[in-house]
């Protein structure tokens, strides 16, 4: 296949280059043609139309071809040695010598004269000059012998003057041929890249257009062609390239993203991206997609993510409570959501730790990324490790043959919520520390280091700091997890929120049921060791016991009596019989002393949860 055409202006050139081309396979596709003057232009037009990718020429042939076609034209340059050799040959015949050249050849002739110190007359061929007249000029100045190319030889023969050929040396030819090979390789790579990009653009789910500054279209992909069958190009251009859009892109250099437009009663979304070169905007790329397709794709993705549980579907609006304690907690949570640091949520069972974790995620810069929650206490250590970090194929008996991606990989650019973080063992703690420090994981049974970018929100109802002092939890991990802390108030510390919580729950789940204010207030009398979870359980029991459209006061009393085991003579005193605040500290101290500081046994004796005991001990400075 013809790729390169070499234009020769003399027999020696033709002979030398033909030999090189025919004896080197790297020059396959190179052809040689001999021409000068108008014939060069005619052959250039012919070979260009035949699909030639590159021309090689010298002297006037080069000048006739360059800048005429949109393909490279390589010049066979004249070298110092060629002029020296021709001059020495001419010098044997005469001392009155003229060397004639054109363009870069003449510049080399002048360089030779200046550096060699030889005496001769340099004559430059002008673009449309007459060589016969130029030779006559030399003869008038006493020149006997002329050095030059084929055209110079013909002029000398016409006038009967002596002539020596300025022969082309093999190194000059080889340099030109090698430059041609390099340019062809660059062209081939550029074409491959163009085809690659073209293929990507054609299989993309969007119509892609490129506009110039004058609002004319310079490129469209295959989807654009299909789209333009539904609307005239001029109409589409007027809709997209409005003065407002033009100003944003070409004058301000800004992008237009996801702008809605109506075309033939159908909604589309388009974006415009400026094309710049050396701080100048020369065009814009327009991406156009059907709004219906976007909605369909979004719904599909959301459905898959919800199925996998990788989306946070709660936000701060879902948190119920107007008490100062809850308002303070929500305010602080919103503030730390803007940070990308790790967060440790502290709170008793049922205080809404995951609800806050999801809300923080949806309020953060990672809101568009995955949110994955895992309860560390619900899995054995080995299973937890493989769930968090994944495993390679064959990592253990029963493992998936292809391996499995862990939660940290799946949550890349998102958030991982580790509930009951205090339950993990030291081996998993060490691996978790690596995630926080190095932002990388290694799968179970694997060796490859995988970078991950996740934010970790952890939660516990334990005193991790005390556990770290006791050597039951890594001290370095604790401080990595607790860069920011969020303490959630127990329900007993915000009892004014109880009526609102109950009303909201009934409205959402049992809108047909009513409940009296008296009944709502009744719930405020008790400490809920299970917090919101325990309160909701009581409401569900009341619903089951209700036969009418209203939860009665008597039903509430009966359910609470069963839950809290009232003393019949004093219905407002718990069986635990914990004294009022003025003696509560003494009771706690006495019971702790009797049980040698054993918190679990102390809580059992007082008929309260260990979490409540811990909270009260902290309240009175006993820990």
Per residue in 31-87, pLDDT (tens digit) is 999 998 889 999 999 999 999 999 999 888 888 898 889 899 998 888 888 889 899
pLDDT above 90 as % of the chain: 46
Is the pLDDT at 353 greater than 70? The verdict is yes
Once rounded to an integer, what is the mean pLDDT over residues 518-524? 93
Once rounded to an integer, what is the mean pLDDT over residues 140-162? 89
Pairing of strands 266-277, 280-290: antiparallel
In this structure, which long-range contacts are made by residues 546-554, counting pairs with CB atoms below 8 Å and at least 24 apart in sequence?
546/513, 549/512, 549/513, 549/514, 550/513, 550/514, 550/515, 550/516, 551/506, 551/513, 551/514, 551/515, 551/516, 551/519, 552/516, 552/519, 553/516, 553/518, 553/519, 553/522
Least trusted range by pLDDT, from 128-137, 307-316, 367-376: 307-316
Each residue's pLDDT tens digit, 193-251: 777 676 666 656 688 888 999 999 888 888 888 888 888 888 889 999 999 999 999 99
Please name which of 10, 64, 5 lies closest in space to residue 35, comparing C-alpha atoms: 10
pLDDT of residue 80: 87
- Say which CATH architecture domain 491-564 belongs to: Orthogonal Bundle (1.10)
Average pLDDT, the chain: 86
Taking the C-alpha atoms of residue 595 and residue 512, their distance in angstroms, rounded to an integer, is 50
Least trusted range by pLDDT, from 9-23, 248-262, 433-447, 602-616: 602-616
Once rounded to an integer, what is the mean pLDDT over residues 586-614? 80
Read off the pTM. Answer: 0.47
Least trusted range by pLDDT, from 124-138, 338-352, 387-401, 475-489: 387-401
pLDDT of residue 302: 47
Each residue's pLDDT tens digit, 9-20: 888 888 888 999
Each residue's pLDDT tens digit, 245-286: 999 999 999 999 889 988 888 888 899 999 888 778 989 989
Each residue's pLDDT tens digit, 401-429: 667 888 998 888 899 999 999 999 999 99
pLDDT of residue 301: 55
**CATH superfamily name and code, 4-76+172-185:** Response regulator (3.40.50.2300)
Higher pLDDT, 169 or 557: 557
CATH of 80-167, one of 3.40.50.10660, 3.40.30.10, 3.30.565.10, 3.30.70.1290: 3.40.50.10660
Confidence band for 569, pLDDT divided at 50, 70 and 90: very low
DSSP string, 279-304: TEEEEEEEEEEEHHHHHHHHHHHHHH
Higher pLDDT, 544 or 617: 544
Residues counted in the chain: 623
Instruction: Name every residue whose Cβ is closer than 8 Å to that of residue 484 and which is 6 or more positions away in sequence.
Output: 336, 339, 341, 342, 343, 344
Taking the C-alpha atoms of residue 468 and residue 466, their distance in angstroms, rounded to an integer, is 5
pLDDT of residue 201: 63
Confidence band for 123, pLDDT divided at 50, 70 and 90: very high
Is 204-293 a CATH 3.30.450.20 domain? Answer: yes
Confidence band for 491, pLDDT divided at 50, 70 and 90: very high
pLDDT of residue 308: 56
- Say which CATH architecture domain 316-487 belongs to: 3-Layer(aba) Sandwich (3.40)
Higher pLDDT, 586 or 535: 535
Please name which of 205, 183, 63 lies closest in space to residue 125, comparing C-alpha atoms: 63
Taking the C-alpha atoms of residue 29 and residue 3, their distance in angstroms, rounded to an integer, is 5
Residue with tokens 């127990």: 490
DSSP string, 173-186: HHHHHHHHHHHHHH
Higher pLDDT, 36 or 579: 36
Once rounded to an integer, what is the mean pLDDT over residues 490-502? 94
C-alpha dihedral (143, 149, 152, 153), degrees to nearest 10: 90
Structure tokens at 300: 């599909």
Taking the C-alpha atoms of residue 443 and residue 429, their distance in angstroms, rounded to an integer, is 15
């Amino acid at each position: 296949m013809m790729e390169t055409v070499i234009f020769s202006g003399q027999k020696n050139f033709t002979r030398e280059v033909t030999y090189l081309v025919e004896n080197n396979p790297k020059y396959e596709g190179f052809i040689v043609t001999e021409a000068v003057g108008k014939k060069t232009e005619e052959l250039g037009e012919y070979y260009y139309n035949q699909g030639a990718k590159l021309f090689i020429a010298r002297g006037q042939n080069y000048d006739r071809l360059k800048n005429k076609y949109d393909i490279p034209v390589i010049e066979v340059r004249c070298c110092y040695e060629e002029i020296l050799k021709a001059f020495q040959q001419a010098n044997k015949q005469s001392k009155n010598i003229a060397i004639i050249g054109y363009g870069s050849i003449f510049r080399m002739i002048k360089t030779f004269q200046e550096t060699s110190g030889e005496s001769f007359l340099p004559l430059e061929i002008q673009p449309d000059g007459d060589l016969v007249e130029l030779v006559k000029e030399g003869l008038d100045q006493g020149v006997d012998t002329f050095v030059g190319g084929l055209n110079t030889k013909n002029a000398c023969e016409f006038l009967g003057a002596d002539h020596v050929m300025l022969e082309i040396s093999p190194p000059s030819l080889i340099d030109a041929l090698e430059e041609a090979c390099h340019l062809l390789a660059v062209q081939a790579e550029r074409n491959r890249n163009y085809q690659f990009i073209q293929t990507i653009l054609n299989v993309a789910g969007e119509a892609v257009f490129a506009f110039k500054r004058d609002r004319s279209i310079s490129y469209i992909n295959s989807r654009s062609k299909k789209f333009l069958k539904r609307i005239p190009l001029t109409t589409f251009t007027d809709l997209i390239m409005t003065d407002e859009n033009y100003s944003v892109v070409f004058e301000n250099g800004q992008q237009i993203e996801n702008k809605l437009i109506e075309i033939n009663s159908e909604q589309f979304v388009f974006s415009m991206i400026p094309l710049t070169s050396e701080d100048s905007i020369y065009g814009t790329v327009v991406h156009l997609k059907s709004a219906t397709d976007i909605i369909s794709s979004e719904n599909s993705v959301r459905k898959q993510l919800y199925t996998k549980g990788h989306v946070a579907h709660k936000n701060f609006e879902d948190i119920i409570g107007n008490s100062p304690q809850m308002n303070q907690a929500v305010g602080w949570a919103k503030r730390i959501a803007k940070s990308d640091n790790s967060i440790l949520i502290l709170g008793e069972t049922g205080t809404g730790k995951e609800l806050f974790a999801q809300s923080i995620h949806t309020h953060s810069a990672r809101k568009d990324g995955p949110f994955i929650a895992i309860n560390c206490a619900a899995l054995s250590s080995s299973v937890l490790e493989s769930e968090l970090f994944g495993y390679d194929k064959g990592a253990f008996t029963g493992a998936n043959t292809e391996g499995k991606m862990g939660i940290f990989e799946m949550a890349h650019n998102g958030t991982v919520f580790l509930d009951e973080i205090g339950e993990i063992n030291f081996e998993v703690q060490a691996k978790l520390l690596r995630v926080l420090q190095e932002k990388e994981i290694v799968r179970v049974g694997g060796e490859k280091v995988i970078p991950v970018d996740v934010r970790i929100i952890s939660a516990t109802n334990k005193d991790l700091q005390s556990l770290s002092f006791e050597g039951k939890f890594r001290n370095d991990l604790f401080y990595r997890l607790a860069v920011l802390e969020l303490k959630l108030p127990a329900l007993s510390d915000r009892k004014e929120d109880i009526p609102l919580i109950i009303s909201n729950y009934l409205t959402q789940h049992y809108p047909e049921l009513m409940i009296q204010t008296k009944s709502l207030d009744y719930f405020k009398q008790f400490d809920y060791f299970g917090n919101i979870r325990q309160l909701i359980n009581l409401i569900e029991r009341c619903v089951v016991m209700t036969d009418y459209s209203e939860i009665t006061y008597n039903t509430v009393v009966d359910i609470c009596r069963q839950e809290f085991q009232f003393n019949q003579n004093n219905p407002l005193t718990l069986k635990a019989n914990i004294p009022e605040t003025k003696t509560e500290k003494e009771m706690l101290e006495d019971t702790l002393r009797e049980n040698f500081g054993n918190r679990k046994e102390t809580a059992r004796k007082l008929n309260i949860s260990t979490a409540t005991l811990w909270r009260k001990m902290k309240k009175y400075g006993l820990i």
